[in-house]
Amino acid sequence: MNEVVITGLGFVSPIGQSAVEVLDHLRAVRSGISLWSAKGFTKTFPAGIVHGDFDDHFEKKDLPYLDRVTKMSVAAAEQALADAGLPPGLGEPGPRAGVFAGTVSGGAETQTQWLRDFSAGDKQTARPFTLMAGMHNAPAAWISIRHRIVGPVITHTSACSSSGAAIGDALRWIRAGDLDLAIAGGCEATLNAPVMGAWDGLRALARPDADDVGRSCRPFSRDRSGLVLAEGAVFFVLESAEHAAARGARIHATLSGYGIACDAHHVGSPHSRGQTAAVTAALRDAGLQPSELSYINAHATATPTGDPVEAASLRAALGDAADVVPVSSTKAQHGHMLGAASAMELGVCVLAMQHDFLPATAFLDDIDPGCPLRHVPVVAERDVQIRHTLSLSAGFGGTNTALVLSKR
């Protein structure tokens, strides 16, 4: 069984468009959440907004085929390849390379714009290439086209665990010896009025904080009011350790464990059994005991029902270690990136491991007693040696994923 390592990181996120920028936000515990509004939409919401259109990554002739989610994904993947020291295109077409992406909504901007045009009654035929721009698999397809990757190109959509499943799938392909290298991660671009309105219908969105909109997302807090939606794309280069060593690549971390489990409970409400099973499976896959974990990045979205369920899940999976293993949710800073959430939070774990700090749950001034964990509130803890980390993600429909990183 091949060891799988991370050699490249690529971030397009509300707290930075490079690893350096994301690291700076995490250590300073600085929020990337601001106020979002849309033309013709009377409500405003806090959101994790990525600034820029990323058109400069493409030729003009390609732009009609591209949704915002694809543009961000290609930018993040190119950043990851550059960080891994790999050339654009990877040389010759590669059957030993693959692309694995996770997304909830794919080309949501394209899809909703066409529905607006149709509903307005002035158009009955979409603009050319609308279908291709709106496809869920468009980001993965464009990454493969640009880099001549002819191995498996697979898109996962299991709600908020989508990119966790994509990364875990890539891990398994490389471990089995069927691939040498994969570009894996997740993407989302759903900050538009119809999507916001749908989430508002669930009564799940946070209210803008009256004093500072950047404080609107407060996971594990007694006064949390809901989740904050965010956009972005985060991709990694994964390789077999042997392949990475042969080309002299710098290694960020070992991707040592993966667990996936469904709670089979309710399409919109989590249950501890699925989350606990995913964590337990990931630890078993990594060959670790719970007490060997140095840090956990929790899914914790700041919803009234979700956070206590997750706390109970972690306590069940960790046993006595639940009182000593540090836990935080960085969604307080970057928001909930949906299909990109797992990838973003795994990236946070990589940076924490590399730079010896525990990321904080920002704005956690008043911990909910219903979420009894060893929290890292308000301020990041510095000079902490991190050997193994775990990131947990939970999605609507009940699919949960957990990923374990280990220092080499």
Contact in structure between 64 and 129 (CB atoms under 8 Å): yes
Note if 265 is an active site residue.
no
**Kind of pairing, strands 295-297 and 357-358?**
unpaired
Across 177-208, b (16+ Cβ under 10 Å) vs e yields eebbbbbbbbbbbbbbbbbbeebeeeebbbeb
**Kind of pairing, strands 153-156 and 97-102?**
parallel
CA-CA-CA-CA torsion sign (233, 234, 240, 242)? positive
CA count, 13 A, side-chain hemisphere, 398: 12
Catalytic residue, candidates 336, 349, 371, 375: 336
Note if 336 is an active site residue.
yes
Catalytic residue, candidates 147, 243, 271, 299: 299
Note if 57 is an active site residue.
no
CA nearest to 229, candidates 11, 14, 18, 41: 14
Structure tokens at 301: 């979205």
Catalytic residue, candidates 147, 160, 243, 349: 160
Beta bridge mates, 6: 238, 253
**CA-angle at 159, arms to 157 and 162, nearest 5°:** 50
Beta bridge mates, 261: 400
CA nearest to 402, candidates 323, 319, 314, 332: 314
Structure tokens at 403: 């990923």
As a whole number of angstroms, the distance between CA 238 and CA 251 comes to: 10
Active-site residue set: 160, 299, 336
